Homo-oligomer: A and B are copies of this chain.
Amino acid sequence: MHEEFLKMINENPIDISSLHSLINQMNTVDIAEIFEDLNQKKITQTFRLLPKNMAADVFSYITPENQQIIIEALTDSEASKIINELFVDDAVDFIEEMPANVVKRVLTYVPDAKRQIINQILKYPEDSAGTIMTTEFVNLREHLTVREAFENIRATGLDKETIYTCYVISYDRVLVGEVSAKTLMLSDPHNIIGDIMETNLVFAHTTDDQEAIANTFRKYGLLSMPIVDNEQRLVGIVTIDDIVTIIEEENTEDFEKMAALTPSDEPYLKTGIFKHAKNRIPWLLFLMLSATVTGTIIENAGDSLPTLLAAFIPMLMDTGGNAGAQVSTLIIRGMALGELSPKDILKIMWRELRIGVLCGLTLGFVNFIRIYLMNGKDALLSLTITISLMLTVLIAKSVGCVLPILAKKLKFDPALMASPFITTIVDAASLTIYFSIAKAILHF
A337 to B202, CA, bound (A): 30
Interface residue A260 (Cβ < 8 Å from any Cβ of B): yes
Interface residue A366 (Cβ < 8 Å from any Cβ of B): yes
Give the most central of A280, A283, A419: most B CB within 10 Å.
A280
Q: Per a CB cutoff under 8 Å, which of B244, B256, B276, B423 touches A244?
A: B244
Interface residue A29 (Cβ < 8 Å from any Cβ of B): yes
Query: Which segment of A73-81, A124-132, A313-321, A376-384 sits at the interface?
Result: A313-321
Judge whether B331 and A268 touch: CB under 8 Å.
Answer: yes
Per the 8 Å Cβ criterion, residues 227-262 of A in contact with B are 240-241, 243-245, 247-248, 251-252, 254-256, 258-261
Query: Which segment of A3-11, A110-118, A298-306 sits at the interface?
Result: A298-306
Q: Per a CB cutoff under 8 Å, which of B199, B247, B292, B298 touches A313?
A: B298
Find the B residue at minimum CB distance from A354: B273
Judge whether A362 and B295 touch: CB under 8 Å.
Answer: no
A186: B residues at CB distance < 8 A = 153-154, 157-158
Given known A-B contacts A288-B319, A298-B311, A337 and B252 have beta carbons under 8 A apart? yes
Judge whether B304 and A268 touch: CB under 8 Å.
Answer: no
A281: B residues at CB distance < 8 A = 358-359, 362-363
Smallest CB separation, A178 vs chain B (Å): 12
A11 to B245, CA, bound (A): 46
Q: Per a CB cutoff under 8 Å, which of B202, B322, B332 touches A284?
A: B322
Interface residue A134 (Cβ < 8 Å from any Cβ of B): no
Smallest CB separation, A432 vs chain B (Å): 12
Smallest CB separation, A400 vs chain B (Å): 10
Judge whether A420 and B252 touch: CB under 8 Å.
Answer: no
Judge whether A333 and B419 touch: CB under 8 Å.
Answer: no
A419: B residues at CB distance < 8 A = 259, 325, 419
Chain copies in complex: 2
A269: B residues at CB distance < 8 A = 334, 339-340, 344, 347-348, 351
Judge whether A267 and B339 touch: CB under 8 Å.
Answer: yes
Judge whether A277 and B355 touch: CB under 8 Å.
Answer: yes
Interface residue A370 (Cβ < 8 Å from any Cβ of B): yes
Judge whether A295 and B315 touch: CB under 8 Å.
Answer: yes
Find the B residue at minimum CB distance from A347: B269
Interface residue A171 (Cβ < 8 Å from any Cβ of B): no
A276: B residues at CB distance < 8 A = 351, 355
A44: B residues at CB distance < 8 A = none
Judge whether A323 and B280 touch: CB under 8 Å.
Answer: yes
A223 to B318, CA, bound (A): 45
Q: Per a CB cutoff under 8 Å, which of B27, B248, B303, B374 touches A200?
A: B27
Q: Per a CB cutoff under 8 Å, which of B182, B217, B431 touches A163?
A: B182
A157: B residues at CB distance < 8 A = 182, 185-186
Interface residue A174 (Cβ < 8 Å from any Cβ of B): no
A393: B residues at CB distance < 8 A = 284
A313: B residues at CB distance < 8 A = 298, 310, 313-314
Interface residue A191 (Cβ < 8 Å from any Cβ of B): no
A-B pairs with beta carbons under 8 Å apart, 5 shown: A181-B181, A181-B182, A252-B337, A269-B334, A288-B366
4 interchain residue pairs of minimum CB distance: A259-B329, A291-B315, A221-B241, A277-B358
Seed contacts A273-B351, A288-B366; 4 additional CB < 8 Å A-B pairs: A259-B328, A288-B367, A298-B310, A304-B307
